[in-house]
A and B are shown apart, each in its own frame.
Chain A
């Protein structure tokens, strides 16, 4: 762990109120400032005790602290280094180890995920019966079952989508593992929106995981392997800009040059990763926006808002749609608890955060919840379901834009 980076922290505490675990528990050890302090203790010789590891594991990696920090502390780098250190030094309890093994052998591999989908596809009634029991056996399994959305029909995307009207750019598009598996309609919408805005969209067929999940869980080597493969895939596709619609993937891919070394770092640097909203805002509108009479609550996905600093662009894109009224969700900077694999490894905290977020989302009274991350959407709808509240339809920013550009008059939302 890098002492220089640790020492950048001046202990001002400005990051505390935006940290979800501090918001939940109000304890210094589970705040960014406290975790950095623990890192320092470790660097200075304190062994990685189970308590210490526990506080690192409890970090969602939401990077809200990075946004909040006026001193520019690179907590993102620090926690990656620390997670790797935890994996190296900390001996986990057997059941914890087993769960981790399952997750890391499953989630980053689209084909394996697909196989898992069926057992998770439970009807509402069975779900209600089975979850409390799973809860008793293993909260993490319950979390998995609870989160998994019903599966939609598989969609095969073409390898290339031609721009509508005059071509303004050519871009690559990442399909992502969770997005691709659970929310294929989002990828369809993304491709269409890009095309309608004048882009040729190249979609390499054999994309794997970008490495985000592994990286955020301290699986450094796995992450690097995935990163290299992703770079190579898009190099072969012949694009220099990759548009990503999943916040978690985007933030990791933007860091490729830092994660990788030498020749690979250079190759990573030659490809530009952009978030869909970021890209569209930059490009400026070309297609006509048709009205959508809707109130929309926009949820900031951490990996978009904090890790990539993209807050205003999606709001601008949405507000520009005639008839659409945008509502702010209070505590928008606080994570919903999804955070990649977090809801699998820290189910209780994830639940509490999900509940907190659900409450605030419902308070907006919006017709539609929009976010740029599949994990968030799954998490928040699961929490709303738990409350037994009237479910709120959810959609990805891309789907809303797609509906407006195509003049559908309504948003074909993701079935919850």
Chain B
């Protein structure tokens, strides 16, 4: 679509939202060309910055009128290109919708606008003795709307679950511009559950009711340093096998430690080939017992140094290295790819060994940071983009890591989503029937495929106007750009 044809919708948006809330200047537009995954870039046709659900609904209706695709964006920290804009469409940014609408401690819930950051919720309820449990490493910046779209998790989701387990209701703008409430209390299909994790392809969340979790009585954090990653892995298996569900159990390998050290001087034990962070929380007596078990297991597995944190400052010191790890690899490598595969926990040692082999074969360094408790790996594939061919080799290694995950019965993404980045791997993990069935949901919500098209699914599909009935040949099908469904 040419910019000419966007002029009219842009004018309509200005009427609806006011002049300042519509961006059409190319220099400004380009700052929205990518999210946290920077090698996919598209300059959006128009950016709008609405301030209410009604405005979003109005924008979406105009999009429907002109057949313009639209993409929601929160803080743009997504790592799978989920918020990659469309040149022929509209980017709807929720960054001005960041009011906490209500906090209801008695009912353990809060209602917030989609642009509120994950951490802001916890900050708003901390004094009441509550917090919002899912804690992606990006929690200080990522929005709850983005979390809903990606079903984000975090270090503590081993015990507490993901976004989907903590969202009680949503107000959404459907792809045809209606405002609808999806609530866990309502009878009928669990559309709330289906919407969460749909990466913006089923509509835009405009209001989020989250569950608040009681702050635990005790939190104890333990850092164990091991000679190598195998020993660390053993400790993880023994802990889980011993019937303990820690709040979090995270591991970093030597290269990741080096990066974190360079970034935030986290002062992890010298000479560690792997560090394990185990956090236990809950009733004091329970934690005391588990703590004894975990220390014993770590020592038996060969930990050469244990550090224990009981207060928030010490705990923050332990976590600092882990939480900064992604961004920190910028310090040891000019460029990198963050992977997000998942494998059954018991296969971790085997998979890590294979990754190591891949790394050596291709001469590409891989740093490993992972949520060890649930087998969610974040291999950071490091390369120098100035070196010819390095990027391609890194891509190959990165892809082969995903293949490894699928081979071991795992998943291509544990928390970052499919987006544009991994849609090509979807057909390795799922059959055509599986994907077609998922698309039925898409067609029910968004028959015209206007809401974040081109994400998640490898092949764009068109939904027949009426199921089962097909009218003529769609031009996109004819030109081979899409398949009919």
Decide: B28 and A29 in contact? CB cutoff 8 A: yes
Decide: A26 and B327 in contact? CB cutoff 8 A: no
Decide: A28 and B38 in contact? CB cutoff 8 A: no
Binding site for B on A (CB under 8 A): 7-8, 10-14, 16-17, 22, 25-29, 34, 37-38, 41, 46, 49, 51-52, 68-72, 330
Interface positions of B from 19 to 33, Cβ below 8 Å from A: 25, 27-28, 30-32
Q: Give 1 or 0 for each of B320-354: 1 = CB within 8 Å of chain A CB.
A: 00001011101100100000000000000000000
Confirm or deny: B263 has a beta carbon within 8 angstroms of a beta carbon on chain A: yes
Decide: B77 and A71 in contact? CB cutoff 8 A: no
Nearest chain B CB to A178's CB is how many angstroms away? 33
CA separation between A80 and B346, bound complex, in Å? 52
Chain B residue with Cβ nearest A22: B95
CA separation between A29 and B123, bound complex, in Å? 26
Residues in chain B near residue A70, CB distance under 8 A: 263-264, 324, 326-328, 330
Residues in chain A near residue B31, CB distance under 8 A: 28-29, 34, 37-38
Decide: B36 and A11 in contact? CB cutoff 8 A: yes
Decide: A72 and B263 in contact? CB cutoff 8 A: yes
CA separation between A10 and B77, bound complex, in Å? 10
Nearest chain A CB to B46's CB is how many angstroms away? 14
Decide: A14 and B140 in contact? CB cutoff 8 A: yes
Decide: A17 and B117 in contact? CB cutoff 8 A: yes
Count contacts between A and B, CB distance < 8 Å. 84
CA separation between A71 and B38, bound complex, in Å? 15
Interface positions of B from 57 to 107, Cβ below 8 Å from A: 75-77, 93, 95-96, 98
Confirm or deny: B423 has a beta carbon within 8 angstroms of a beta carbon on chain A: no
Residues in chain A near residue B117, CB distance under 8 A: 17
Inter-chain pairs besides A26-B93, A28-B76, A71-B328, 12 sampled, C-beta below 8 Å: A10-B36, A10-B327, A11-B36, A12-B77, A14-B141, A22-B95, A28-B31, A28-B93, A49-B27, A72-B263, A72-B330, A330-B123
CA separation between A330 and B127, bound complex, in Å? 12
Decide: A11 and B38 in contact? CB cutoff 8 A: yes
CA separation between A41 and B31, bound complex, in Å? 9
CA separation between A51 and B30, bound complex, in Å? 13
Q: Give 1 or 0 for each of B118-156: 1 = CB within 8 Å of chain A CB.
A: 010001000000000000001011100000000000000
Interface of B is mostly: loop
Decide: A46 and B27 in contact? CB cutoff 8 A: yes
Number of B residues, CB within 8 Å of A = 36
Residues in chain A near residue B264, CB distance under 8 A: 70
Residues in chain B near residue A34, CB distance under 8 A: 31
Residues in chain A near residue B36, CB distance under 8 A: 10-13
Decide: B328 and A13 in contact? CB cutoff 8 A: no
Decide: B95 and A41 in contact? CB cutoff 8 A: no
Residues in chain B near residue A26, CB distance under 8 A: 49, 93, 95-96, 98, 115
Residues in chain B near residue A330, CB distance under 8 A: 123
Residues in chain B near residue A22, CB distance under 8 A: 95
Chain B residue with Cβ nearest A49: B27
Confirm or deny: B303 has a beta carbon within 8 angstroms of a beta carbon on chain A: no
CA separation between A279 and B28, bound complex, in Å? 44
Decide: A12 and B27 in contact? CB cutoff 8 A: no
Nearest chain B CB to A352's CB is how many angstroms away? 14
Decide: A13 and B27 in contact? CB cutoff 8 A: no
Residues in chain A near residue B123, CB distance under 8 A: 330
Nearest chain B CB to A154's CB is how many angstroms away? 44
Confirm or deny: B170 has a beta carbon within 8 angstroms of a beta carbon on chain A: no
Decide: B75 and A71 in contact? CB cutoff 8 A: no
Nearest chain B CB to A327's CB is how many angstroms away? 14
Partner of A14, one of B30, B95, B138, B331: B138
Nearest chain A CB to B136's CB is how many angstroms away? 12
Decide: A7 and B263 in contact? CB cutoff 8 A: no
Partner of B49, one of A10, A17, A27: A27
Given A26-B49, A38-B31, A51-B27, A13 contacting B75 (CB threshold 8 A): yes
CA separation between A51 and B24, bound complex, in Å? 12
Nearest chain B CB to A28's CB is how many angstroms away? 5
CA separation between A28 and B33, bound complex, in Å? 10
CA separation between A41 and B30, bound complex, in Å? 9
CA separation between A206 and B480, bound complex, in Å? 79
Partner of A71, one of B27, B98, B327: B327
Nearest chain B CB to A69's CB is how many angstroms away? 8
Nearest chain B CB to A403's CB is how many angstroms away? 29
Residues in chain A near residue B328, CB distance under 8 A: 70-71
Residues in chain B near residue A14, CB distance under 8 A: 138, 140-141, 327
Confirm or deny: B34 has a beta carbon within 8 angstroms of a beta carbon on chain A: yes
Chain B residue with Cβ nearest A9: B330
CA separation between A10 and B76, bound complex, in Å? 12
Nearest chain B CB to A8's CB is how many angstroms away? 6
Chain B residue with Cβ nearest A36: B31
Partner of B34, one of A8, A11, A49: A11
Decide: B331 and A37 in contact? CB cutoff 8 A: no
CA separation between A71 and B327, bound complex, in Å? 5
Residues in chain A near residue B25, CB distance under 8 A: 49, 51
Nearest chain B CB to A12's CB is how many angstroms away? 5
